[in-house]
């Protein structure tokens, strides 16, 4: 047996230790399932075996679920075969049902089966545990259990959608599965997901004790008197769960996620059926989900791409790995303080510099506030918090920069000021023992890096390191190179970003780089709609229906209207005659002049009550543009949705054409982490790939004819349409997975 080691003890308990060779973490492959099936068969037929305990031989945890690579490699997938559509579907079902079949075989083997969960058990790992009659969990700091499939566009397809509701009730189970929630040991015990929590190292013994003392070989749901906790779909209370749950899930997902809909269906239908039929229904919905473009794109982006970029996917080859120990941050304002915090959090010493001591101290105080919050929420011990704070040295003294591996400049957005501080800082950075290895990064959001680099004595060491606000929460960092930036500098900047546990994407220098360049047109399209007489409520509602986290107008409030006005006026200045004004920009400028700055001062497109609570649209909006369309038929809603999403996607395509971004994985991950681009799509270029270049070009041409040149597809898209190419096909040289 390749994946499990088995050992029969003197009491007749068969200990099966899951330990996939050559892997740091256990996952379920076809081969591991075959082994488990053999174990179940032995338990059933071998009279010596009185019971089974399953545990893991890995220090990393119990099991992370099904092997996605194998699943998407076709083994689990219903391949469409034009000659035999029925047969292909059946094959897909059989493959997907195998996990259910084997887990059920174990559950009904006639001997008590206990699981000793010695660490993380997610997805198929928890589903296996749910098929065991008794569950012991250790209380290790990294131990957690959960069914997170929804986060990658799937839902639990190894019996989880059937066993969890039967165990803890439909409401609690639906909440856990639709959020992909993970439970720490204590929470798992309280929720009734496990029977017992024991100190690390005692889980196998506790599982064996249960078999010897109580050992019940019949699952809860196979007992005659079994009732679904809280009632099933036809129970008066249980039915409420589905009526409310349906509405709630619809409200949260706007029907954009097939996995959410199929989860609900599987639970609703499954709970009305005998268990063995219920798991077949689950598998059918699972195969159906797996075949959707949304699931394929989400798995690719959220699993494979994020993993690849998290390991430095775009890092130039052949550059030695570096490990920055000290960073100097210039400017202790909102961004600088945030950068100081995330750096110190990763154990990096930070010299936090501002114009005077008081300003630098203010930056450190901001970090202290973040630490206090984390401590009060139990996410950090006070000692750890103090340790992080001790790493931050606030000072106005540029002399302290010497010895740093990296400077990050985050002073006011002013090119002259940035040039001055660059010169002053470089004089200290390129002195001392790090003089030959240190690099300089700027966090500018709008000024071209090549322009700022002119102030540098070592332009090959000069790079953009663009964070997003709030720095402690936002996971994306754009790294901007110029034609002078060396590969060594790029590698060092990436090593720093990876060390602070953010995801870097590499962008070539251009106005607004990648993220802001694609995001700003979303807000601008909101202004177009507003000026065309669409009701602001309609615009933002449809905006949210696209899967964007917020509508364009409320998003503008969140960014700050004065900042957007400043960006607009600077863009106009920089572009000169080529600038095409956006209808509505004057009205927004007037709002700013009247003191409506957005969420930050409680007044923007919306009014934000001081005492908290729901925001409401500002009544003055209708004085700016008369509302002529307050309601929209489904067809019009679809058109507005397309306008809001496609204007971003066509901009991303232009970025590829211009070489601003070159890797579809970075574009997809960047769009989701940077500005929350409709996650159901798998990201901004996956959206185009799923539509198909030819159809996308056709739709863009139609939008351009109706709404203007901003929708006109770039030549790149027309080429791709002619050749039938996708972004992953054309640009995905770096081992693009799946889909
Ligand atoms: P901020 O006004 O909050 O902070 C700027 C800080 O720089 C202030 O504390 C100021 O005292 C300090 N400073 C000015 N001159 C200095 C000098 N000579 N030496 C040292 N410190 C000096 O601004 P912010 O929002 O933190 O933005 C900083 C930079 O980050 C800007 O380039 C901005 O474009 C960029 N950025 C901002 C955001 C955002 O959302 N705010 C996002 C990404 C990038």
Please say if 366 is a catalytic residue: no
Is it the case that residue 313 has pLDDT exceeding 90? no
Is it the case that residue 291 has pLDDT exceeding 90? no
Mutate to test the pocket of ligand 1, among 330, 411, 511, 674 (most ligand atoms within 8 A of CB): 411
Is it the case that residue 74 has pLDDT exceeding 80? no
Q: Which of 134, 195, 127 is nearest to 164 (CA)?
A: 127
Identify the structural domains of the chain with CATH numbers, from first to last.
4-291 (3.90.226.10), 326-509 (3.40.50.720), 516-595+625-731 (1.10.1040.50)
Q: Whose CA is nearest to atom 39 of ligand 1?
A: 469
3-state secondary structure of 264: helix
Please state the atom number of ligand 1 nearest to the C-alpha of residue 337. 26
Nearby residues of 580 by Cβ (< 8 Å), 6 or more positions away: none
What is the whole-number distance in angstroms between the Cα of residue 274 and the centre of ligand 1?
63
Q: Whose CA is nearest to atom 8 of ligand 1?
A: 333
CA distance 694 to 60: 46
Angle between helices 170-179 and 236-253 (to 10 degrees): 20
Is it the case that residue 739 has pLDDT exceeding 70? no
pLDDT, mean of residues 601-610: 96
Please state the atom number of ligand 1 nearest to the C-alpha of residue 413. 32
Cis peptide before 470 (omega within 30 of 0): yes
Q: Are 409 and 418 within 8 A, CB to CB?
A: yes
Q: Are 194 and 145 within 8 A, CB to CB?
A: yes
Q: Which protein residues are within 6 Å of ligand 1, measured from CB? A: 330-336, 353-355, 359, 410-413, 417, 421, 443-445, 467, 469
Is it the case that residue 76 has pLDDT exceeding 60? no
pTM of the model: 0.93
- Enter the tokens of residue 655: 């970025």
What is the whole-number distance in angstroms between the Cα of residue 311 and the centre of ligand 1?
29
pLDDT in tens, 56-66: 999 999 999 99
Going by pLDDT thresholds of 50, 70 and 90, the confidence category of residue 587 is: very high
pLDDT, mean of residues 65-71: 88
- Share above pLDDT 90 across residues of the chain, in percent, rounded to a whole number: 90
What DSSP string describes 202-224?
-HHHHHHHHHHHT---S-GGGST
Going by pLDDT thresholds of 50, 70 and 90, the confidence category of residue 80 is: low
What is the whole-number distance in angstroms between the Cα of residue 352 and the centre of ligand 1?
12
Beta-sheet strands, E only, within 161-290: 182-183, 196-198
Q: Estimate to the nearest angstrom the gap between the alpha carbon of 553 and the chain centroid.
A: 24
Name the catalytic one among 195, 366, 466, 528: 466
Q: Whose CA is nearest to atom 14 of ligand 1?
A: 411
CA distance 643 to 700: 9
What is the whole-number distance in angstroms between the Cα of residue 558 and the centre of ligand 1?
18
pLDDT in the model for residue 732: 87
Tell me which long-range contacts 246-250 makes (C-beta under 8 A, separation of at least 24). 249/174, 249/178
Strands 13-18 and 51-56 turn out to be: parallel
Residue with structure tokens 């129970």?
A: 235
Arithmetic mean of pLDDT over the chain: 95
- For the chain, counts of helices (H) and of strands (E): 31, 19
pLDDT in tens, 25-40: 999 999 999 999 999 9
- Enter the tokens of residue 564: 């957007």
pLDDT in the model for residue 733: 63
- Enter the tokens of residue 456: 């540098």
Q: Whose CA is nearest to atom 20 of ligand 1?
A: 354
In the β-sheet with 503-508, what is the strand arrangement from edge to edge?
A: 392-395, 349-353, 326-330, 406-409, 439-442, 462-467, 476-481, 503-508
Q: Whose CA is nearest to atom 15 of ligand 1?
A: 411
Is it the case that residue 660 has pLDDT exceeding 90? yes
pLDDT in tens, 315-333: 999 999 999 999 999 999 9
Is it the case that residue 70 has pLDDT exceeding 90? no
Is it the case that residue 69 has pLDDT exceeding 90? no
- Enter the tokens of residue 503: 């995801």
pLDDT in the model for residue 91: 78
Please, how many CA atoms are within 13 Å of residue 552, restricted to the half-sphere of its CB?
A: 30
Please state the atom number of ligand 1 nearest to the C-alpha of residue 446. 34
Please state the atom number of ligand 1 nearest to the C-alpha of residue 559. 40
In the β-sheet with 121-122, what is the strand arrangement from edge to edge?
A: 121-122, 145-146, 182-183
What would you measure as the largest C-alpha separation in the chain, in angstroms? 88
- Enter the tokens of residue 647: 């204007």
Q: Are 299 and 381 within 8 A, CB to CB?
A: no
C-alpha distances (whole Å) from 293 to each of 53, 264, 283, 414 are 39, 19, 18, 44
Phi, psi of 139 (to 5 degrees): -100, 30
Q: Whose CA is nearest to atom 28 of ligand 1?
A: 410
Provide the β-strand partners of residue 409. 330, 442
Q: Are 152 and 299 within 8 A, CB to CB?
A: yes
C-alpha distances (whole Å) from 368 to each of 334, 341, 371 are 13, 9, 5
Q: Are 209 and 9 within 8 A, CB to CB?
A: no
Is it the case that residue 81 has pLDDT exceeding 80? no
CA distance 36 to 500: 40
What is the whole-number distance in angstroms between the Cα of residue 697 and the centre of ligand 1?
40
pLDDT, mean of residues 193-219: 98
pLDDT in tens, 665-697: 999 999 999 999 999 999 999 999 999 999 999
DSSP secondary structure letter of residue 66:
B
Least confident segment among 244-248, 422-426, 531-535: 244-248
pLDDT in the model for residue 546: 98
Phi-psi domain of 595 (left: phi exceeds 0; alpha: psi -120 through 50; beta: other): left
Going by pLDDT thresholds of 50, 70 and 90, the confidence category of residue 738 is: very low
Q: Whose CA is nearest to atom 1 of ligand 1?
A: 333
Q: Are 128 and 176 within 8 A, CB to CB?
A: no
Q: Whose CA is nearest to atom 12 of ligand 1?
A: 331
C-alpha distances (whole Å) from 254 to each of 145, 249, 412, 495, 612 are 28, 8, 40, 39, 26
pLDDT in the model for residue 11: 97
Mutate to test the pocket of ligand 1, among 356, 399, 410, 597 (most ligand atoms within 8 A of CB): 410
C-alpha distances (whole Å) from 268 to each of 97, 174, 224, 248 are 19, 10, 21, 15
3-state secondary structure of 196: strand
User: 330: buried, middle or exposed (CB in 10 Å: 19+, 13-18, 0-12)?
Assistant: buried
Q: Which of 45, 532, 436 is nearest to 14 (CA)?
A: 45
pLDDT, mean of residues 517-522: 96
What is the whole-number distance in angstroms between the Cα of residue 422 and the centre of ligand 1?
14
pLDDT, mean of residues 389-405: 98
CA distance 258 to 689: 18
C-alpha distances (whole Å) from 438 to each of 433, 452, 460, 493 are 9, 18, 11, 10
Residue with structure tokens 């002529």?
A: 628
N- to C-terminal Cα separation, the chain: 32
Q: Which of 136, 100, 101, 95 is nearest to 115 (CA)?
A: 136
Mutate to test the pocket of ligand 1, among 328, 335, 360 (most ligand atoms within 8 A of CB): 335
pLDDT, mean of residues 398-427: 97
DSSP secondary structure letter of residue 151:
G
pLDDT in tens, 451-476: 999 999 999 999 999 999 999 999 99
pLDDT in the model for residue 737: 36
Residue with structure tokens 């004085």?
A: 623
pLDDT in the model for residue 411: 97
Mutate to test the pocket of ligand 1, among 328, 329, 331 (most ligand atoms within 8 A of CB): 331
């Amino acid at each position: 047996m390749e994946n499990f080691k088995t050992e029969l003890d003197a009491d007749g308990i068969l200990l099966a230790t899951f330990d996939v060779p050559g892997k740091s973490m256990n996952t379920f492959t076809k081969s591991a399932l075959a082994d488990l099936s053999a174990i179940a068969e032995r338990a059933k037929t071998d009279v010596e075996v009185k019971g089974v305990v399953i545990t893991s031989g890995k220090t990393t945890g119990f099991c992370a679920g099904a092997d996605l690579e194998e699943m998407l490699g076709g083994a689990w997938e219903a391949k469409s075969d034009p000659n035999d559509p029925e047969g292909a579907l059946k094959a897909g079902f059989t493959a997907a049902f195998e996990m259910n079949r084997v887990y059920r075989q174990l559950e009904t083997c006639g001997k008590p089966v206990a699981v000793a969960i010695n660490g993380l058990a997610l997805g198929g790992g928890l589903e296996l545990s749910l098929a065991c009659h008794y569950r012991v969990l250790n209380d290790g700091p990294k131990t957690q259990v959960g069914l997170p499939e929804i986060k990658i566009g799937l839902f639990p397809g190894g019996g989880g959608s059937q066993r969890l509701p039967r165990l803890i009730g439909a409401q609690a189970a639906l909440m856990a599965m639709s959020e992909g929630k993970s439970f720490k040991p204590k929470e798992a015990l309280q929720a009734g997901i496990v029977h017992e929590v024991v100190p690390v190292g005692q889980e196998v013994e506790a599982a064996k004790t249960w078999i010897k003392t109580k050992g019940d070989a019949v699952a809860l749901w196979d007992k005659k008197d079994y009732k679904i906790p809280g009632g099933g779909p036809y129970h008066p209370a249980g039915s409420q769960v589905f009526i409310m749950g349906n509405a709630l899930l619809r409200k949260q997902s706007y029907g954009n996620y097939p996995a959410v809909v199929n989860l609900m269906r599987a639970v609703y239908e499954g709970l009305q059926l005998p268990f063995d039929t219920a798991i077949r229904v689950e598998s059918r919905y699972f195969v159906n989900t797996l075949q959707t473009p949304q699931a394929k794109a989400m798995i690719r982006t959220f699993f494979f791409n994020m993993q690849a970029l998290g390991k430095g996917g775009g890092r130039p080859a052949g550059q030695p790995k570096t490990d920055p120990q000290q960073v100097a941050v210039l400017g202790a304002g909102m961004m600088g303080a945030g950068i100081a915090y995330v750096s110190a959090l990763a154990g990096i010493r930070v010299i936090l510099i501002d114009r005077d001591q008081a300003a630098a101290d203010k930056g450190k105080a901001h970090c202290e506030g973040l630490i206090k919050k984390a401590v009060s929420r139990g996410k950090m011990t006070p000692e750890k918090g103090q340790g992080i704070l001790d790493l931050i040295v606030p000072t106005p003294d540029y002399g302290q920069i010497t010895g740093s591996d990296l400077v990050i400049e985050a002073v006011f957005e002013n090119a002259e000021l940035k040039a001055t501080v660059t010169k002053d800082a470089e004089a200290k950075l390129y002195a001392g023992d790090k003089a030959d290895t240190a690099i300089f990064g700027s966090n500018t959001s709008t000024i071209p890096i090549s322009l700022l680099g002119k102030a540098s004595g070592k332009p090959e060491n000069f790079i953009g390191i663009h964070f997003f606000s709030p720095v402690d929460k936002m996971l994306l960092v754009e790294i901007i190179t110029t034609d002078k930036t060396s590969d060594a500098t790029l590698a060092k900047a990436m090593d720093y970003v990876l060390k602070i546990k953010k995801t870097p994407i590499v962008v070539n220098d251009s106005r607004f780089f990648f993220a802001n360049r694609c995001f700003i047109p979303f807000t601008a399209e909101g202004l177009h709609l507003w000026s065309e007489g669409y009701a602001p409520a309609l615009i933002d509602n449809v905006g949210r229906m696209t899967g964007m986290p917020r509508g364009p107008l409320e998003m503008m409030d969140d960014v700050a209207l004065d900042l957007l006005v400043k960006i607009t006026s600077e863009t106009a200045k920089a572009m000169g005659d080529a600038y095409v004004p956006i209808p509505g920009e004057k009205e927004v400028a007037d709002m700013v002049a009247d003191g409506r700055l957005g969420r930050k001062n409680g007044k923007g497109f919306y009014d934000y009550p001081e005492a908290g609570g729901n925001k409401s649209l500002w009544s003055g909006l209708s004085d700016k543009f008369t509302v002529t369309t307050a309601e929209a038929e489904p067809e019009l809603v679809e058109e507005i949705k397309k306008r809001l999403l496609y204007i971003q996607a066509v901009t991303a395509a232009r970025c590829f054409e211009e070489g601003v971004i070159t890797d579809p994985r970075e574009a997809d991950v960047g769009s989701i982490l940077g500005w929350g681009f409709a996650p159901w799509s798998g990201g901004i270029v996956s959206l185009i790939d799923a539509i198909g270049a030819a159809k996308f070009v056709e739709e863009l041409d139609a939008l351009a004819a109706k709404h203007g040149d901003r929708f006109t597809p770039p030549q790149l898209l027309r080429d791709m349409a002619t050749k039938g190419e996708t972004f992953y096909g054309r640009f995905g040289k770096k081992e693009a997975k799946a889909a």
